[in-house]
Structure formats: C-alpha cells, structure tokens
Structure 1
Amino acid sequence: MKSAFKLNQIIRKMWFLPTMFAAGAIATVATAHYSAALLPQELPIDISESAIEDILTIIGSSMLAVATFALATMVNALSGASQGTSPRAVRLIAEDRTAQASISAFVGAFLFSVVGIIALSGGFFTASGRLILFAATIVVVALVVGALIRWINKISSIGQVGETIERVEAATTAAFCEIARTPLFGCCEREAAQHGAVAVHADRVGFVQHLEPAELQKIAEEDDLWIHVVARPGIYATRAQPLAMVAGPVTEGARRRIRDAFVVGRNRTFDHDPLYGLVVLNEIASRALSPGVNDPGTAIGVIHAQIRILDTWMTEKPGQRPAAAFSRVSMRRITPQDVMTVAFRPIVRDGAGNVEVCLEVCEALQAIRAAAPHVFGRAVAETAVDLLARARSDMSHPPDLRAVEQAAAALVHADGTAGHAPARHPALDFEDRRGAE
C-alpha cells in the first residue's frame, strides 16, 4: 500500500525512535502518578523524594553528555562514510536500528529524568507514586546500561567501509529477492502501448520510488483501459519519460488517479529498486579505484558482494500470486543485460588497468554464469568482451594483459554461450507462466 510505504519511510527516519522514546518517558512519569491510585497509601517501603531526585539528577546530567557524544559520533560516522564510500550509502547508516535505539535510549532517559525531577519538585507524587517512579527509574537505568553496551560495540564499526558495504549488500539482496518472487509486481509482461496509446506523465520531475499495481488494475477495470508501466521504481520520470502508456479512452480523472498510484520523490530508494543498490556498490568501488585512494581491495570486496547478491537472486524461489492478478497492467522486466551492465561496467571502466581487479571480475563472471548459464550466458560474454577491450587500452605490461586475455577469452567462447539467446530462470518466468494460465 502507498500509505504503508510512506509510513515505512517515516519510521526509518533518524528522529522517529528518539521521538517515540521521549513520548514514552513522559507517559511513564504520568503513569506513575495516575497508577498510584491503585495502590494503598500506606506502604511498608517509603522512598523519599530526595533519594529519587538524586538518582534522576545523576541520570539527567550523565545522559545529556552521553547523548551529545553519541550524536557527535553518529555525525562523524555519516561524514566519514560519505567521503570514504558513497553519499548514497549514508542513508542506510542513518537508518541503523542499533544506533537509533541507543541514541533514543539516551535521549529518552534524559527527558525522563527532567520530567521526573519537575514532577517531584511540584509535589506531583504520593508515597505510592514515588514507589512506582522509583521502580521505573530502575528499569530506565537497566535500559541505559544495555544501550551503552550496544553503542560501545557499534561505534567500533559504524561508518567503516566494510560495514557500509555489508549494509548496502543486505539492502540490495532484499530488493533482488523481492524481484525474484514477483518480477513484475504481479503485472503481466505483454505490451499495453498499442496504437493510439496515451502517455501519462508525473506532475513533478523525480525518481519513481513506489507504485500501486492493484490501484492501476482497479482504474483499468473501471475505465476499460490497458495500462503499461513505463517507469519502474528507480526510473527518473520527466516530461520525456512518462510514468505509463494507456490504451483506451483516458479521462482527466483517470490520468490523475494513475499519477497518484506512483510515489515520485527526489531520491532513489533501495526498497523496490534492486539496481540502485548495485549503483551504490559501484560508487564505492569507483572511489576505491581512483588514483587518490588506490584501494583495489575494496573494489574486490564489492565484486564479491555482487556475486552473493546475484547468486541469491537466481536461487530465490518465485512466490505464488493469483492467476488473474493485475491482468490489465503490464511492465518491462529487469533483464540480465540490465543487471550485468549496472553491476560491472563501472568497475570494468575504472579497474581496467589493474590486473588483480580484472582477474577478479573474470572470476565473478564465471561464478555468475555457473549459477545460471542460460540466463547470464550472453550478458557475461558481452561484459567479458568489454573488459578485454578496456584492458587492452589501459594495460601496459604484456604479461598482465595476456593473463586477462586468457581469462576473458574463456568466458566469451565457453560452451558457445555467447552465440545463443539466454533462456530465463524460473524466478524470471513465473509471471509468464501465470499469464499463460
């Protein structure tokens, strides 16, 4: 659902968890006051206001310093990740739940202590209320200790190149698994852009972040239309790049509803756009291969991550959808050529003069072809040809060039794959089978 997608984007914001913890802190103090009516006024244990106030004062003063330090560390980590990896990867670090939960616990504990001290100073609590507040304070101290332990463990890796690559890989793998289960989001593949089809453009320029095929199907059924989605998530919608092509009598109301079925924003997201993750990984690799950094090991680490991602894509089983789902909505599938171009062309371009990187790319291509030879055969061969041409242009040491030529030639000519059209993997064929039924 469109609303669920937007809610998920809000929940991931760095301010969301601190806000929830702060609200929880205020609610805890209020609960301690109103719950006192459920307990008898005379209790065997009477916690003095000064004792609780002293504890809350210690918590408040220490948590203010800790929260400030944690936020400064987070800012430095985001800045370091932006400079050392890719600015597009910063969002994933900012969405790290461990870091967010730790900072939120510090902020929430600080606000709990401030509200508690104010309430105590105003005589807000009875003896029963003070007991409940004291118990809540002990719980808050335990939560803070746990948050400190998690934060100490987290700051040793947050923002580092290896950890950033892992986070991008995890987000990209999740997007590819979704595409493997539903390659066309439940739509069919036949072209709806028939003679006389009308283009529907976005009302503002931006990246398509999400679409609602169920809503498009509903519009098509009600107005007797056929809708072909041109802009999958990740496409930059402009006046020249429409959202959809519509065959049939299109009213202005239908145009508006079709636009509303797409979420268009300023930036790409990882959720439904698997190629974006590959783009970010390649930005990390390209920065590592620049002369100023000269870190081929990071580029090789990116190559290994891409192998794992594509292998998971090929081994993920298609999901099950009803045969009649979204039969009036179609879109183009992501092809192996699309994936291979995005995954390896930047690395091949920037690492063509490095023999270690070139040989690692050849090994990666061999592994990908072995995982799905009929799917990636042609795409692997084309990438190997591009690699060989660039290596011949950039490499000056003959033995290095011969090693790359041998590795690339084996990929181009192995089993005659380059001369045959690639077949589809079952994960890519599911929507076709469903349409045939």
Structure 2
Amino acid sequence: MSQFTFQLRQIAQRMWFLPAAFSLVAVISIIIAWFLAQFAPKDLPFTMPSNGVMSILTILASSLLTVAVFALSTMVAALSSASNSTSPRAVSLITADRSAQTSISMFIGAFLFSIVGIIGLSAGFYSQAGRLFLFAVTMAVVVMVVTALIRWIGQITAIGRVGHTIDRVEGATRDAFDMTGEHPVFDCRVQIIEPQGMPINARNVGYVQHVDAGKLQRLAEAHDLNIAITARPGAYVAPNRPLLLVEGVVPAERVDDLAGAFVVGDSRTFYSDPRFGLVVLGEIASKSLSAGINDPGTAIDVIGTLVRVLVDRPQVDVDWHPRYDRVSVPQLDPVDLIDDAFRPIARDGAATIEVVLRLLAGLRTLAYASPDLAEPALAMARDASARARQAMTAESDLKTLEAAAAFAHEEGAHQA
C-alpha cells in the first residue's frame, strides 16, 4: 500500500467521513431530482401537491434530528464504556465500525436531505415533475431510514460492551496477521542475517504506522541500493534510532526521500501491526483483573482469544519470492508475540488460580500447535507459574498449580 492509499484509508475510517459522504449524496440526490424533471413530459398522469411533499419532509426533518442526536449520544456513551471497561486503545476500532457509522450517517444524511428539500420547495424550484421525482426519492429515503433504525436497535445492544470490544480487537488483529500473510514482510525479502549499512534515522519522534515498500524499492533500483528495514510498523522511533540501513552510495538529496517512506505518528495503529492488537487484548485482560473491576471471566475469555489468534496466524515462508527484492524486513519475533499477549495476564492474574490455570493451558496449546512459539510459550509458562507461586497462599491452589505447570518444566528440561 502506498502512502497516499494509506492516508486515504485513515481518513475513511474517521467518524466524520461517512456522515459527510452521506450528506453529500443527499444534496446531490436533490439536485438530480430537479435536473431529471427538466426532461419529463408536461402532462403527467399523476401529480404531487407541494404541501404533500412538504409535510413528509417536515416530519423527516423534525424527527431525524432527534434520532441523529440520540444515536450520537449512544455512540459517545459506548466509547466511554469501552474506554473505562476495556482499553482506551480499542476506542478507535469502535469509531471505525462501518455498521455503526452507516446508521448514524443515514440519519444525518436524511436530515440534510429533508432540509434541502424543504428549502427547494419553499423557494419554488420544483415543477410538477420535479415534485414527483422528489416524492419518489423521499419514499426511498424513508425506507432506508426505517432500515437503518431497525439495524441501529440491534447495534446499540452490543456496541461498547466488553465482549463486542474484544471481538473488534480480535478481528483487527486477525486482519493485521492476514495482511502479513498475503503480503509476507510487506512483499520484501526476509532478513536472515544481521543487516549492515548506512543508517537513516527518523526525522521525528513517534510510532511507525506505515512503510511504503514500493517507494523504497524504486529508490533502491534507481541508485543501486540494498535496503534493510529496522523499524517495522509499531516500532517507537526517534532521531537517534535508524529506520533502515542502506548498502550502497546514497545521494544526499535522497536521504529525506528514504526516511519519507515511513509514516510516523503519535500512536500505533492496528493495520499492519499485529503486535498492537495483542497488546490491546492483554490490556483488556489486565484491566479486568484490577481490584476495581475484578472480572476473571473476561481475562479467561481474552486468553482463549489470544490463543486462537496466534494459532491461526499465517506463517511466512522464508524461501518465498518477494516483489521488492532490494528491500528486506525482519520477521515478527515469537518472543515478542508471547510477551505482548500474556505477560500482563501473568503479572496481574498471578493470585487467581482460575486465570493461571487457563493461562497455562493456553500456553501449552501454543507450545504444541505452533512450533515457532514453543520455546517462548514454555518460558512464559514457567514465568507465570513462578509468579503464581509467590502470589498464592492456599496449599490446595499451590498443588493444583504445580500439576498444571509440570509440562513447562518437563519440556524445558528436555529442550535443555
């Protein structure tokens, strides 16, 4: 994905974009109705009085304003609930929910349609044919509004709830893993050995949100360079940390172009950064284990979600044929994946035997189902059991813990 496409995608996911688009469509539909009326025959078999269309539009305008305000207030309450009960980092996924955005956009667009239609009728812009076309469009808008209302009733029962938020984060994390599966290491070569070369440092402080590998490939081909990316999306960079290492002679005027292939922002994004999804899921589980919430069931649910995501993630074939053969990217470190996902749960759930047992069971599944995660999963299981031994005091819990954690010590001794 180019930087331009990435920026468009970021804009399209913002809360205001879809309502603005629907409002524009509403205004255009009014103009089209007036324009088509110019080609209609003068003698129509059916006419619509101006006050008839006006009354329908007035009802729509007065009611949809209230509905739109209610929908927006519900969304704000859902965002606040999600932030307080799960993680503030998950709020962006709720605001980017297309189903919720579509319903709210439909209400706002229909309201604007009604207002513009009333203005046009009051000013006498519409002929008999124009009023007929406007009436037909109004009936279509009514049908769409009713459909949006029914859909919104189903959405408000789930949006902002803990389970819904976990599902949204899981979906975003899977999408990020799938993207790296369809385009392994961003269609570049996999870094096998430690890269060398001239460092190109970041120009500002923040998180890498996107890398335009195509731009780097074009620059490498134009100047006979080999580029090794050292900062994947999600990495925290600063002027003292290199974004990439370059082998070859880099023209001075191209240094900024190479650094400009990286989009650096104030926060991490879920797209192309699956580790961020794991971090947010871990945060949700960690918050559920706090004294203020005390909900071990949510932590257990998150553990199951993390195991599913990591087991189902696509694997990168080191020998695959890259599209950008002059650019190399390091693979995701299995140790980082396990630490991002399970360390907060191991720390904050150490005193709760139910959470520790489910955590150990999940890590055991990963150790056997994903060979590349086996060693870090077993190491995390040993760490989690050590934390739990220090946090628990009941003899029965400690005996149960030792039995559940035996696999990690046996496998660790076998590997050693």
TM over 0.5: yes
| Residue aligned with 1:184, SS | helix
Partner of 2:195: 193
Partner of 2:206: 206
CA-to-partner distance for each residue in 1:390-418, whole Å, 9 max, x for gaps? Answer: 11111111221221122112133149664
Partner of 2:276: 276
d(CA) in 2 for partners of 1:418 and 1:240?
39
Shift of 1:98: 1.1
d(CA) in 1 for partners of 2:301 and 2:121?
56
Aligned match of 1:411 in 393, 408, 412? 408
Deviates more, 1:98-107 or 1:245-254: 245-254
Give the 5 Å matches for 1:118-267: 118-188=119-189, 189-191=191-193, 193-194=195-196, 197-267=197-267
CA gap 1:319/1:118 in 2 versus in 1, 3 angstroms? farther
d(CA) in 2 for partners of 1:338 and 1:34?
60
Partner of 1:360: 358
| Residue aligned with 2:325, SS | coil
Give the 5 Å matches for 1:315-394: 316=314, 323=321, 325-372=323-370, 374-394=371-391
Shift of 1:130: 0.5
1:66 maps to 2:63: no
Q: Which aligned runs of 4 or more in structure 1 are off by greater than 6 angstroms?
A: 319-322
d(CA) in 2 for partners of 1:323 and 1:269?
28
Shift of 1:295: 0.6
Partner of 1:2: 3
- Indicate if the aligned counterparts of 1:181 and 1:317 stay in contact, CA closer than 8 A: no
| Residue aligned with 2:242, SS | coil
Corresponding letter in the other structure for 1:250: V
CA gap 1:292/1:73 in 2 versus in 1, 3 angstroms? same
| Residue aligned with 2:264, SS | strand
CA gap 1:416/1:326 in 2 versus in 1, 3 angstroms? farther
Partner of 1:87: 88
1:39 maps to 2:36: no
Shift of 1:67: 0.3
Aligned match of 1:399 in 396, 399, 415? 396
| Residue aligned with 2:185, SS | coil
Corresponding letter in the other structure for 1:389: A
CA-to-partner distance for each residue in 1:141-189, whole Å, 9 max, x for gaps? Answer: 0000000001000000110001000000010011112223444222221
d(CA) in 1 for partners of 2:129 and 2:302?
59
CA-to-partner distance for each residue in 1:243-282, whole Å, 9 max, x for gaps? Answer: 1112222222221111121111111111100000011111
CA-to-partner distance for each residue in 1:75-102, whole Å, 9 max, x for gaps? Answer: 1110111111100000000111111111
| Residue aligned with 1:185, SS | helix
CA gap 1:128/1:178 in 2 versus in 1, 3 angstroms? same
d(CA) in 1 for partners of 2:386 and 2:89?
30
CA-to-partner distance for each residue in 1:347-402, whole Å, 9 max, x for gaps? Answer: 00110111000000011012112212x32221121011101211111111122122
CA-to-partner distance for each residue in 1:208-238, whole Å, 9 max, x for gaps? Answer: 1110122212212222222111110000111
CA-to-partner distance for each residue in 1:305-328, whole Å, 9 max, x for gaps? Answer: 101101211xx3669998353222
| Residue aligned with 1:341, SS | helix
Q: CA RMSD in A?
A: 1.7
Corresponding letter in the other structure for 1:152: I
d(CA) in 2 for partners of 1:216 and 1:416?
45
- Indicate if the aligned counterparts of 1:226 and 1:328 stay in contact, CA closer than 8 A: yes
TM-score by length of 2: 0.96
Deviates more, 1:157-166 or 1:235-244: 235-244
Corresponding letter in the other structure for 2:330: R
| Residue aligned with 2:228, SS | strand
- Indicate if the aligned counterparts of 2:211 and 2:233 stay in contact, CA closer than 8 A: yes
Shift of 1:304: 0.7
Partner of 2:52: 51
- Indicate if the aligned counterparts of 1:177 and 1:312 stay in contact, CA closer than 8 A: no
Corresponding letter in the other structure for 2:264: V
| Residue aligned with 1:38, SS | coil
Corresponding letter in the other structure for 1:7: L
d(CA) in 1 for partners of 2:80 and 2:162?
12
| Number of residue equivalences | 414
Partner of 1:428: none
d(CA) in 1 for partners of 2:209 and 2:322?
25
- Indicate if the aligned counterparts of 1:181 and 1:319 stay in contact, CA closer than 8 A: no
